[in-house]
Amino acid sequence: MATGLLAILVPALPMISAAILLAFFRASRRPAARLSVAAMSVTLVLALTLLVHHILVGSAAQVEPLGSFGSLWIDPLSLVLWTFVSGISLIVHIYSVRYMVEEPGYARFFALLDLMTAVILVMVSAADLLTLVVAWFLVGVLLYFLLGHDHRRAAAGRYAFWTQITYRFGDLPLWFAALILIHTYHSVSLPVIFSRIQAAPHVQLWGMPVPELTGFLLATAAFARSAQFPLHIWLPYTMDGPTPVSALMHAGIVNAGGFLFNRFAPLFEHAGWALHWAFGVGLATAIIGSGLMLMQNDIKRSLGYSTMGQMGFMVMECGLGAFSLAVFHLIAHGFFKASLFLGAGDVIGDARVHDGVPPDPIYTSVIERRPAKPSRLPLLVAASLTVLVPVVVLSLAHFFVAEHLFFEQGVVVLLFFGWVTGAQALFAAHKMSRQDPWRLMLGILASFVVIVVGYTLISHYFGNFLYPNEKMSLALYNAASIHRLSFDALVLFLAAMFVGGWALTFFADSFELGRDLGGRGRSVYLGIYALLSRELYVADIYERLGQIVVHGSRRLNVWLGWC
């Protein structure tokens, strides 16, 4: 009984705080901020208490304060995300106390933050489809008001509207999926639906298995909410909103796609083709987002495309069956990206003082007495370390933690990406010129070993906490598996793609492409540069489509005599 009351208080406290702020503290700045921060602090303490209680003695349970609608599912996924969301929200609240102090609508801003936090807490713990769908919808509505908080900035309102339209487009597949599940399994309760799916996974609707059909719809809803290509354009263009909102959005709201996959994990056990689709979309998004991030000259937009790339990787992890790893990823990325956004102002201030222009080499050599040409490791030695060390470290770490996972295709692909990431980090270290390159490389190798071992152990035990039933985790990996020949072709394609990327990097380091290439090569280079600098023209296409719709609606109004 006490646990149920605490569970109700977790989302209720931010709601109560928002109501008090709007009713009594609209004109009081300092009391409004103190009340909001205090409410969020208590919310975090309650979430941590419930999480620790579950780790020690608890088990999954349902709380139904309002009957079927409004029920909460107190399971490991809900408790972990409650702690994560309330922690991020508390950081954003504290940062906003001073950041927003000169902005109009100070108390209203904190009330909106409280309401957003409460709705997200309800969404991640909803035990019935109706509550989940309503909370999913309200997150988009509240985000619209937060992004457009400053009515004086026309750009903020315009891009907030872009976000609203994209979110509403992504809501439709979720609504259809909910209707299909309710119609097929005759219940709104998620635990009941999942148990009936396990009992009858091959029920069909319109000639297609229901889990597969709803899996595609749920994946599409996750794509829109997590800024997957080509539904990503709203994310990097929402930087005209307040920085605390950007931090909360990139750290928590955009991660909703990973949550949706994990909440419906029992359904995706029988939706292999939907997982394959998620892998393809996530892979494309990760590559495009990371590439566009490098082309930006605005720090917040660069962070936006960085988030897009990370969300692509998170969806790709779900497509490989590594659902618990996706949750671990979204939590780690959330705290990291929140710190980057909240520190963006300091970075901009430092850049104004230190412009990053390389100093004169004669001055560096004579005055600062640094060597004009620092040494590097021999290329063959650096290449060997770059290729072999990540393979050995990753393989041994995963072998000692969970040997049986080496037979799962999803784990093999994730190890491949881990190898690529580690090799890229070591390659970047090789490019750093130092007086003692061996010392630099050994230090980076030691750091890499510690990070990989720690990450492997944490992700393994974290996965066992989220999904204590090992059969379920293996079923997700099996659902994400493909034909052996197709899998080998996929690995070869990815290997060729990354080898080509490294070769291009070496080539770019050796030549100044814009100057040294001539003729057709220069034209190709400039065409690729223009394509990336214009962000693949996706925003231009959307803007043109919007103009066509507006023009068509005007002609229709004239033809019908409505105006």
What are the pLDDT digits (tens) for 129-169?
999 999 999 998 888 888 877 777 766 667 778 788 888 88
3-class SS of residue 94 = helix
> Per-residue pLDDT averaged across 374-379, rounded?
53
Give the highest mean pLDDT range of 350-359, 445-454, 549-558: 549-558
306 — pLDDT class (breaks 50, 70, 90): confident
Residue reference for tokens 């560096």: 364
Closest CA to 40 of 103, 110, 106, 109: 110
- Nearest CA among 338, 345, 346, 426 for reference residue 381: 426
Average pLDDT over residues 299-320: 83
Six token digits for residue 112: 């909106």
pLDDT for res 214: 92
Kind plus residue range of the DSSP H or E element containing 449: helix 437-466
Question: Rounded distance, CA 343 to CA 348, Å?
Answer: 9
Give residue 417's pLDDT.
61
Q: For residues 258 and 256, what is the distance between their CA atoms, to the nearest angstrom? A: 5
pLDDT at 220: 92
Helix residue ranges, H only, 25-153? 29-56, 76-99, 106-125, 129-147
CB-side neighbour CA atoms (13 Å) of 399: 6
pLDDT of residue 168: 86
In angstroms, the CA 489 to CA 487 distance is 5
Lowest mean pLDDT among 75-79, 86-90, 187-191, 410-414: 410-414
Looking at the DSSP bridge assignments, the partners of residue 74 are: 61
Q: How confident is the model at residue 256 (pLDDT cuts 50, 70, 90)?
A: confident
pTM of the model: 0.81
Predicted confidence band of residue 425 (pLDDT cuts 50, 70, 90): low
Q: Average per-residue pLDDT in the chain?
A: 77
Q: Which residues pair with 72 in a beta bridge?
A: 63, 126
Interatomic CA distance for residues 149 and 105, integer angstroms: 8
Question: In a 10 Å sphere around its CB, with 0-12 CB exposed, 13-18 middle and 19+ buried, how is residue 137 labelled?
Answer: middle
Q: What is the mean pLDDT of residues 470-480?
A: 77
pLDDT of residue 44: 92
Using CA atoms, how far residue 508 sits from 377, 502, 524, 527, in Å, is: 19, 10, 14, 16
Band of the pLDDT at 295, cuts 50, 70, 90?
Answer: confident
Q: Tell me the β-bridge partners of 61.
A: 74
CB-based contact 190:127 (threshold 8 Å) = yes
Question: To 10 degrees, what angle do helices 409-431 and 437-466 make?
Answer: 150
Q: What is d(CA 331, CA 336) in angstroms, rounded to the nearest whole number?
A: 9
Token pair belonging to 404: 């049986």
What was the pLDDT predicted at 135?
A: 92
* Cis peptide, bond prior to residue 378, ω within 30 of zero: no
Higher pLDDT, 385 or 171: 171
**CA-wise closest residue to 282 among 309, 306, 307:** 309
Integer Cα distance of 561 and 142 in angstroms: 36
Residue with tokens 């790893």: 325
Which H or E run includes 177?
helix 154-185
Q: Is residue 379 pLDDT above 60, yes or no?
A: no
Residue 9 has pLDDT above 60, yes or no: yes
User: What one-character DSSP code corresponds to residue 269?
Assistant: T
Burial, 96: exposed, middle or buried (Cβ in 10 Å; 0-12, 13-18, 19+)? buried
3-state class of 205 per DSSP? strand
Q: Please say if the pLDDT value at position 367 is more than 90.
A: no
Q: Mean pLDDT, to the nearest integer, of 520-524?
A: 68
The Cα 486–Cα 47 span in angstroms is 44
Task: Please give the Cα distance from 101 to 96 (Å, whole number).
Answer: 8
Q: Where are the domains of the chain?
A: 183-357, 377-510, 523-563
User: Is pLDDT of 375 > 60?
Assistant: no
Residues in the chain: 563
Would you state the pLDDT for residue 120?
Answer: 92
Percent residues over pLDDT 90 in the chain: 11
Q: Which residues contact 96 (CB under 8 A, 6 or more apart)?
A: 33, 109, 110, 113, 242, 244
Q: How far is CA 365 from the centre of its chain?
A: 45
Residue 188 corresponds to which tokens in the numbers above?
């709104």
Q: Which amino acid is at 183?
A: H
Quick one: pLDDT at residue 509?
52
pLDDT over threshold 90, residue 179: yes
Asked whether 127 and 73 are in contact (CB, 8 A), the reply is yes
Residue 517 scores a pLDDT above 60? no
pLDDT at 189 over 80: yes
Alpha-carbon span 512 to 521, nearest angstrom: 12
